[in-house]
Amino acid sequence: MPENSAAGSPTQPLAVVIIGRNEGQRLRACLQSVQSLRLPENIRHAVTLYVDSNSTDDSLALARSFGAHTIALATGPWTAARGRNTGWRAALDLHPVDWILFLDGDTTLDPDFLSAAFAAAIPDPRLAAVYGLRTESNPRQSIYTQVLALDWLLDPHQHAHFGGDVLIRVAALQATGGYDDSLIAGEDPELSHRMRTLGWRHLQLDQLMTTHDLAIRRFVQYWARLLRSGYAYADVAERFRHTPERFWFGDSRRNLLRGSFWLLSFVAALVAALVYALDHHSARAALAIILWLALFAAVCLRSAWRYRRRSASLVTLFLYGIHSQFQQIPLLLGQLTWFADRLLARRRALIEYK
């Protein structure tokens, strides 16, 4: 049963753990936002730690200039999970903290979020994690960020798991052992689920927590990010495959079906068009492609209508509809990559998109 690690303590110390890899000016903005945070009187900001995953820029020096305690991970794996684990465990070595605020180095913290988070968390000793809403800092920087920014616009309480930006009770981290270092993605939902199985609760507030900078300007970045997500689907789903909840197992299997359908149907349309073209039936060749495109467009429009509350722009919604279907292919390939790695007993390094 979860216990309140801060019981009897009038002032509860907080550590801020930031992880990053070549974030540049995004890290500067993150550190500045931590300096500006506002805390309730019974919370003390004990230390800020920056854990760096082999950056080649001046991230470490920048973090030190803001007074952060820095840790450089000189050898891999440079997973986000390992960075966060290194940070919160080092925080406990430095100070007897009760709370850890985890932030990614490409985010900025809303200064008023923690006041609301602690108001909800302190009275409830079973509450392990509190998190809020995330928005994109510059969604118009590319067509990819314009679309992916809508992924942050979820209704409060829609997701049962937290992401990379979260306030966590140290007792819950200790009870679960923290993040799984071996996961190259999906480490946050995986930990969130393990906490729930031990009886801890999570709370999503209908309040801005962080502003994020995806910095995706090229198709190759967009593709790599989706590949990584697909890899995480398969990895996490397999870990919980034989548990009653089968966490992410349904999501994984749905993607395998949908991704396979779009990939195989497109190949079939191309083959049919090629056969007709070789037989000098150009009209039939064009019709095969047109029919596939019509089906794809119809499903994209249905997705756009489903998510119509996320944007007032019809163009953005249609692009998001395309994304919701097209992403099934790289997600599928990411899952297949994981299956291949398991078959070959191969350990995958980071899948980076920026």
pLDDT in tens, 201-211: 999 998 999 99
81 with 145, same domain: the answer is: yes
223 with 96, same domain: the answer is: no
130 with 17, same domain: the answer is: yes
Residue range 326-331: mean pLDDT, rounded:
97
Strands 201-212 and 69-72: unpaired
Does this model's pTM top 0.75? My answer is yes
CA 282/CA 271 separation, integer angstroms: 13
Q: What pLDDT score does 28 carry?
A: 95
25 with 151, same domain: the answer is: yes
User: Residue 12: which H helix or E strand, with range?
Assistant: strand 12-20
Q: What's the pLDDT band for 155 if we cut at 50, 70, 90?
A: low
149 with 282, same domain: the answer is: no
225 with 89, same domain: the answer is: no
72 with 133, same domain: the answer is: yes
Assigned domain for 257 exists: yes
Q: Could you say which of 185, 217, 249 is where a domain stops?
A: 217
- Helices 249-278, 314-326: inter-axial angle, 10-degree rounding: 90
Assigned domain for 6 exists: no
Going through 176-263 in order, the beta strands assigned E by DSSP cover 201-212
**Are 328 and 254 in contact, with CB atoms under 8 Å apart?**
no
63 with 211, same domain: the answer is: yes
pLDDT in tens, 156-182: 555 578 999 999 999 999 999 999 998
95 with 125, same domain: the answer is: yes
Strands 166-169 and 99-104: antiparallel
Assigned domain for 3 exists: no
Number of domains composing the chain? 2
Assigned domain for 43 exists: yes
CA 347/CA 319 separation, integer angstroms: 35
* Residue-range definition of the domain harbouring residue 306: 219-354
Assigned domain for 188 exists: yes
Length of the chain: 354
89 with 205, same domain: the answer is: yes
Cis-peptide, bond into residue 125, ω within 30° of zero: no
Q: Could you say which of 217, 239, 259 is where a domain stops?
A: 217
Q: Could you say which of 180, 198, 217 is where a domain stops?
A: 217
**Are 198 and 176 in contact, with CB atoms under 8 Å apart?**
yes
Nearest to 128 by CA among 100, 157, 152: 100
Percent of the chain with pLDDT over 70: 95
Chain mean pLDDT for the chain? 91
193 with 52, same domain: the answer is: yes
**Are 205 and 117 in contact, with CB atoms under 8 Å apart?**
yes
Q: Which two tokens stand for residue 314?
A: 């019809």
